[in-house]
Amino acid sequence: MRVDLLAGATYNPAVMPSPVPTILVFDSGLGGLTVFSEVLKIRPDARYVYAADDAGFPYGRLAESVLAERVVAVMERLIELHDPDIAVVACNTASTLVLPYLRARFSIPFVGTVPAIKPAAQTTQTGYLTVLATPATVARDYTRDLIETYAAGCKVNLVGSRRLAGFAEAELAGSPVSDEELLEELGPCFIEDAGGRTDVVALSCTHYPLLLPRFQTLAPWPVTWIDPAPAIARRVTQLIGQPVPGHEADENETVAVFTSGAGIGLDLREALREKGLPAIAIEDMPLLVG
């Protein structure tokens, strides 16, 4: 079973009147495609910019101050170039840290994604739930606060994987890793003792649903996988309204923007085309950390 509940939203401006909005979906890499696909389903009429800050990937390796400065700088360039009506930060690592900076700096609304701990706690029957995330998301006070607020009565297993986001990128680019490598990262999600066993896994990195079919096959027993992407898409609709009847975006109204583009090969280009992003642009923004 797959649950698509959103962990929560704290930004609630009035519904925007733009009839055919431009929607910016932003991530450090390709994980945000899981969110983009769901937003596209619910607003097929919109113009889209999918932005991958691949020059900064993975964000988990960056110090918090560097990450905040980087995301604000990249977002400033993207907003200047594409003038979006709304931006979706489809990255848990960035959302749990940078959303306050973005909302203070820019006037457009931002929708973030945070670890789906609340719906995981509401869904579990055994009380054993796993939050599968990046090490940076696992370490955030924000994540600990969510656990204390919504899952204090549960056994919460925090699993921070250093490799899964890269595995997901490789999968989409046509170079999947072996089952053995995937199991090394997935295995710690499953706990079983005399009191019960894991029955819910919250996918708390937008990259991870790209690997969901393989997770389901490799899991030692069935669990509920929580992917917040569909609920994030519904949140976008709450903010910008319903689709415009009779209008559907064409290929000239969607573009994938990369800040490096170094890993773009034929397989990835085809994968992006299949997801509705045939046009690719490079907005060169090297990561300067010194």
Instruction: Note if 205 is an active site residue.
Output: yes
Task: Provide the greatest CA pair distance for the chain.
Answer: 57
Q: Which residues pair with 3 in a beta bridge?
A: 226
Angle at 150 between CA 58 and CA 183, to 5 degrees: 45
Confirm whether residue 82 is marked as ligand binding: no
Residues 6+ apart with CB under 8 A from 164: 132, 185, 205, 207, 208, 211
Token pair 């030692």: residue: 220
- Secondary structure (DSSP) of 89-119: E--HHHHHHHHHHHHHH-SS-EE-----HHH
Confirm whether residue 206 is marked as ligand binding: yes
Query: In whole angstroms, what is the distance from residue 93 CA to residue 5 CA?
Result: 19
Confirm whether residue 247 is marked as ligand binding: no
Say how many CA atoms lie within 13 Å of 139 toward its Cβ.
11
Confirm whether residue 199 is marked as ligand binding: no
Residue pair 257/283 in contact by the 8 Å Cβ criterion: yes
Among residues 205, 249, 272, 277, which one is catalytic? 205
Confirm whether residue 60 is marked as ligand binding: yes
Among residues 7, 52, 91, 231, which one is catalytic? 91
Q: What are phi and psi of 26, to 5 degrees?
A: -120, 140
Confirm whether residue 143 is marked as ligand binding: no
Residue pair 104/77 in contact by the 8 Å Cβ criterion: no
Annotated binding site: which residue ranges? 27-28, 59-60, 92-93, 206-207
Active site residues: 91, 205
Q: Which residues are annotated as a binding site for substrate?
A: 27-28, 59-60, 92-93, 206-207
